[in-house]
Chains A and B, each alone.
Chain A
């Protein structure tokens, strides 16, 4: 059997750091990057007698995530303690929702070029983050600023079947947390963290294979690479007649391989039990409805409206909306153009790479891109010039219309202006003309290239082509 006979079964556990004003169980601020241990109090330091009180904003954020992912919002949920010793946890336990999470049974839809699939979400639960250990040559220091910062853990069903799908799901989740405003979703700052559960099975099999968890992968790209290399490893083990063990592995970014951390037998017993310092979390239907109203227009809704208003394909609309900033950008830009389709093409091909995973700022002024789309749509500039202008606009902003005039970049659409250059081109490319007349269509390209060069790329290429054909066939 070959690797192509196997399929990937992927489940994802995503940790989202919430940007509530205060920590989950005390009133300390949650600002990222503050000096070590400057955002701590007896509660998040777990000092004797300190008591946690749930910050209701965390519940509101969890409900938002639940609504956005079509989950059931449970009317009663509960916090448990996960007991373990590690210096990043001053209380020696993590407060989390083990048995009764706040959101259950949801899904998100993921569109790829092949179509749209549902990835189910089994649960979303609230928990707290741990501190950070800073290792250096003289020893280890502990920064407790992050202790008690609220997290949501979003657990998917094992529904994704490819690395692309897993990444598309992650992009979707990131869009959701950004759309709802509950998190920055920045992987490089750790506000979006991902564990991958991967097993393989022969295509057509019902039963799941042995599951391996790959911990803490910190970019979409690495998620895809980790899945592929782990998939290959698992298939190789099976093909070699070996058996897989249930274990936790880590992905090494340098080698691109996964390495075993601990097997299931070594897994600690966290001695979960209901946190007796906290009361059950109760949510009323009215609260859920009130929160539903505060949720900004979400990706899927925007997607549908773009498809209808601008005749976009599902794939185009999905790509536009998977990043909230890009979608916002599009909405601002589209208001300044009469050529939305053109705008979408330029945005998706030339501008989208500049919307990186970890920035929330626009890479350029959306109004300028709207104007640029008009220039293209009105045939005032050609796509060559358009691409050059986008590049320049990503550097710094200017008015494309004025710039085109000033630098005489306007597309030459005037036959009388082009006529002498066309004649010269036909005369100078005798051989190409012969080839063309001999039935070789592609020979035309050399003649068009000649005209474009002579006009510094400003000629309307379609018009040039037409005029050359006319000139030759005359």
Chain B
């Protein structure tokens, strides 16, 4: 069955009209997995048996005439930093290679209640610290559009799974762009919702004040559908906020009207922004203007400051959040050493990878007594400045159109420098929404001449997901979905 060319609402219709069963759909997805996983490596753990059991249950419920949620029977995947009871949750770290949590993340619990089918747990940069999924302690993941290139990161496994059809949707987590950047590099749609809209409970914290769970899908409507299934108030996440949009899917249907879209000129004047990225974004701007939007140039000055502030704040929180992985209470414990200090030292040295250690050290430095004021506190102030700048901008704009990354996907084992970019600044455009807690949606803008996906980013004020989906859907409706990756065997 050709499920890969169908959107989730079409698959849901097919299940309900009994064109195919959830088992057939699930088996088809697992066939794609079997054929492509050796190349792509999107998953850390496959949950084949569970998936079939869940699929059979949905088929049974549907045959009883039960009315089920839209996502029921649809195979999806979870980034492996989302806790699943009885299924190991590794965070792509040696430290937690055998860790089976005794609890479910809030998002996994609500998806289970909605009878989704879990295909497996996807690869990521270790503890979600990275841009390419290459810092996973287990294996790399390849970009389905060009298997010599990275899928982006840290939610690279989820992006690759969705782009290749190894899952109909996936959840990622976004701290500084970890949903949007791999979505852009792998040619799919990725939403970073308003901070607090989706509960973080059970999602391994890297940087608590920045981490957000977000849906990754092939189409904009799929994405809205999944966010509808996730955005619930959770009293057990102190930062949780209730949604203000009844249904994100319905929000797309509202009239397009005459939205005001901000065009951050400084973003497009960066030297490292490739023409391959710039051109489709300019075309998108012209498209929006042609359908009734008003484009206004805006002057955002804080992008460079965002970089420094982001790395300091996220590493500071990451340092504190990752200290618990010490080999004492659970997780990997080294056999070496005699003393308690040895136990900490060896367990952490052996269990954690280089990038994670780098971030821990940076955070440790920024929080030390001598450096706190100059680094942590200053960054916190910058963050407040950025929030003010964006709030000010959104007094006159409904959304901002921005790049996601400066370059398309780079080759495995290299850095974006290869393409004229920079390892850490390549995806700096994703940082302002992270720091401000505002929603941002990455959608495919098109393919380069070489066939590499290029993404674009729509950023809005808090709780503007409905608007962002509506703008994105207009673009998608006019341009169609990206062609499926040619390399993927079907």
Interface residues of A (CB under 8 A from B): 42, 45-54, 81, 83, 85, 87, 90-93, 142, 269, 271-273, 276-279
A356 nearest CB across to chain B (Å): 38
Given contacts A42-B102, A46-B329, contact A81 B320 (CB under 8 A): yes
B84 nearest CB across to chain A (Å): 11
A148 nearest CB across to chain B (Å): 14
Judging by beta carbons under 8 Å apart, are B83 and A92 in contact?
Answer: no
Separation of A276 and B238 alpha carbons in the complex (Å)? 10
Judging by beta carbons under 8 Å apart, are A52 and B367 in contact?
Answer: no
Partner of A85, one of B96, B205, B326: B326
Chosen A-B contacts, 14 in total, with CB atoms closer than 8 Å, are A46-B324, A48-B81, A48-B91, A48-B324, A49-B83, A49-B101, A49-B200, A51-B237, A51-B238, A52-B238, A92-B326, A269-B368, A271-B320, A273-B316
Shortest Cβ distance from A25 into B: residue:
B238
Q: Could you say which residues of chain B place their CB within 8 Å of the CB of A142?
A: 328-329
Partner of B324, one of A52, A54, A91: A91
Given contacts A54-B238, A276-B209, A277-B205, contact A83 B368 (CB under 8 A): no
B202 in contact (CB, < 8 A): yes
Judging by beta carbons under 8 Å apart, are A278 and B238 in contact?
Answer: yes
B337 in contact (CB, < 8 A): no
- CB-CB nearest 4 A-B residue pairs: A92-B323, A271-B367, A276-B209, A276-B208
B429 in contact (CB, < 8 A): no
Judging by beta carbons under 8 Å apart, are B208 and A277 in contact?
Answer: yes
B414 nearest CB across to chain A (Å): 31
Given contacts A49-B202, A277-B208, A279-B239, 4 further A-B pairs with CB under 8 A are A49-B82, A49-B200, A51-B205, A83-B323
A429 nearest CB across to chain B (Å): 78
Chain B residues 73 to 119 lying within 8 A of chain A, measured CB to CB, are 81-83, 89, 91, 96, 99, 101-103, 105
Shortest Cβ distance from B323 into A: residue:
A92
Separation of A51 and B101 alpha carbons in the complex (Å)? 14
Shortest Cβ distance from A54 into B: residue:
B238
Given contacts A81-B320, A273-B316, contact A47 B330 (CB under 8 A): yes
Judging by beta carbons under 8 Å apart, are A42 and B344 in contact?
Answer: no
**B369-389 vs A: 1/0 string, CB under 8 Å?**
100100010000000000000
Given contacts A51-B238, A92-B323, A93-B323, contact A271 B368 (CB under 8 A): yes
Interface of A is mostly: loop
Shortest Cβ distance from B380 into A: residue:
A274
Judging by beta carbons under 8 Å apart, are B367 and A273 in contact?
Answer: yes
B317 in contact (CB, < 8 A): yes
**B313-338 vs A: 1/0 string, CB under 8 Å?**
00011011001111011100000000
Q: Could you say which residues of chain B place their CB within 8 Å of the CB of A52?
A: 238
Judging by beta carbons under 8 Å apart, are B323 and A276 in contact?
Answer: no
Q: Which of A91, A271, A272, A279 has the largest count of B CB atoms less than 10 A from its CB?
A: A271
Shortest Cβ distance from B104 into A: residue:
A49
Shortest Cβ distance from A89 into B: residue:
B324
A142 nearest CB across to chain B (Å): 7
Partner of A90, one of B103, B235, B329, B367: B329
A357 nearest CB across to chain B (Å): 34
Q: Could you say which residues of chain B place their CB within 8 Å of the CB of A92?
A: 320, 323-324, 326
Judging by beta carbons under 8 Å apart, are A45 and B329 in contact?
Answer: yes
Separation of A93 and B318 alpha carbons in the complex (Å)? 13
B155 in contact (CB, < 8 A): no
B48 nearest CB across to chain A (Å): 24
Given contacts A81-B320, A93-B320, contact A49 B326 (CB under 8 A): no
Separation of A277 and B239 alpha carbons in the complex (Å)? 7
Chain B residues 172 to 216 lying within 8 A of chain A, measured CB to CB, are 200-205, 207-209
Separation of A273 and B96 alpha carbons in the complex (Å)? 26
Given contacts A85-B323, A277-B208, contact A49 B201 (CB under 8 A): yes
Partner of B320, one of A49, A83, A278, A279: A83
Given contacts A49-B83, A49-B204, A279-B239, contact A42 B323 (CB under 8 A): no
B104 nearest CB across to chain A (Å): 10
B364 in contact (CB, < 8 A): yes
Shortest Cβ distance from B207 into A: residue:
A276
Q: Could you say which residues of chain B place their CB within 8 Å of the CB of A42?
A: 101-103
B441 nearest CB across to chain A (Å): 24
B338 nearest CB across to chain A (Å): 12
Separation of A47 and B208 alpha carbons in the complex (Å)? 14
Partner of A51, one of B201, B207, B326: B201
Separation of A56 and B489 alpha carbons in the complex (Å)? 56
Separation of A85 and B237 alpha carbons in the complex (Å)? 25
Given contacts A47-B101, A48-B99, contact A279 B238 (CB under 8 A): yes
Q: Could you say which residues of chain B place their CB within 8 Å of the CB of A269?
A: 368-369
Separation of A42 and B368 alpha carbons in the complex (Å)? 29
Shortest Cβ distance from A274 into B: residue:
B380
B340 in contact (CB, < 8 A): yes
Q: Could you say which residues of chain A place their CB within 8 Å of the CB of B323?
A: 83, 85, 91-93
Separation of A1 and B409 alpha carbons in the complex (Å)? 80
Partner of A53, one of B235, B324, B325: B235
B395 in contact (CB, < 8 A): no
Given contacts A273-B320, A273-B376, A276-B209, contact A48 B235 (CB under 8 A): no
A321 nearest CB across to chain B (Å): 40
Q: Could you say which residues of chain A place their CB within 8 Å of the CB of B329?
A: 45-46, 87, 90, 142
Chain B residues 43 to 84 lying within 8 A of chain A, measured CB to CB, are 81-83
Judging by beta carbons under 8 Å apart, are A47 and B103 in contact?
Answer: yes
Q: Could you say which residues of chain A place their CB within 8 Å of the CB of B96?
A: 48
Separation of A277 and B200 alpha carbons in the complex (Å)? 10
Q: Could you say which residues of chain B place their CB within 8 Å of the CB of A278?
A: 238
Q: Could you say which residues of chain A place their CB within 8 Å of the CB of B205?
A: 48-49, 51, 277
Q: Which of B96, B238, B369 has the largest count of A CB atoms less than 10 A from its CB?
A: B238
Separation of A48 and B316 alpha carbons in the complex (Å)? 17
A78 nearest CB across to chain B (Å): 12
Judging by beta carbons under 8 Å apart, are A271 and B364 in contact?
Answer: yes
B254 in contact (CB, < 8 A): no
Q: Could you say which residues of chain B place their CB within 8 Å of the CB of A272?
A: 367, 372
A168 nearest CB across to chain B (Å): 36
Separation of A90 and B326 alpha carbons in the complex (Å)? 9
Separation of A402 and B488 alpha carbons in the complex (Å)? 100
Given contacts A47-B103, A87-B328, contact A273 B372 (CB under 8 A): yes
A132 nearest CB across to chain B (Å): 14
Q: Could you say which residues of chain A place their CB within 8 Å of the CB of B81?
A: 48-49
Shortest Cβ distance from B377 into A: residue:
A273
Shortest Cβ distance from A93 into B: residue:
B320
Separation of A87 and B323 alpha carbons in the complex (Å)? 12
A59 nearest CB across to chain B (Å): 13
Judging by beta carbons under 8 Å apart, are B238 and A277 in contact?
Answer: yes
Separation of A50 and B369 alpha carbons in the complex (Å)? 28
B361 nearest CB across to chain A (Å): 12
Q: Could you say which residues of chain B place their CB within 8 Å of the CB of A51?
A: 200-201, 205, 236-238
Separation of A269 and B91 alpha carbons in the complex (Å)? 29
Separation of A271 and B200 alpha carbons in the complex (Å)? 24
Separation of A316 and B324 alpha carbons in the complex (Å)? 53
**B432-454 vs A: 1/0 string, CB under 8 Å?**
00000000000000000000000
Shortest Cβ distance from B102 into A: residue:
A42
Q: Which of A48, A52, A91, A277 has the largest count of B CB atoms less than 10 A from its CB?
A: A48
Shortest Cβ distance from B348 into A: residue:
A85
Q: Could you say which residues of chain B place their CB within 8 Å of the CB of A91?
A: 323-324
Separation of A145 and B207 alpha carbons in the complex (Å)? 27
Separation of A51 and B211 alpha carbons in the complex (Å)? 13
A93 nearest CB across to chain B (Å): 6
Separation of A21 and B456 alpha carbons in the complex (Å)? 51
A376 nearest CB across to chain B (Å): 60
Judging by beta carbons under 8 Å apart, are A49 and B105 in contact?
Answer: yes
Q: Could you say which residues of chain A place their CB within 8 Å of the CB of B369?
A: 269, 271
Separation of A42 and B99 alpha carbons in the complex (Å)? 13
Separation of A417 and B8 alpha carbons in the complex (Å)? 109
Q: Could you say which residues of chain A place their CB within 8 Å of the CB of B367?
A: 83, 271-273
Q: Could you say which residues of chain B place their CB within 8 Å of the CB of A276?
A: 207-209, 317
A80 nearest CB across to chain B (Å): 10
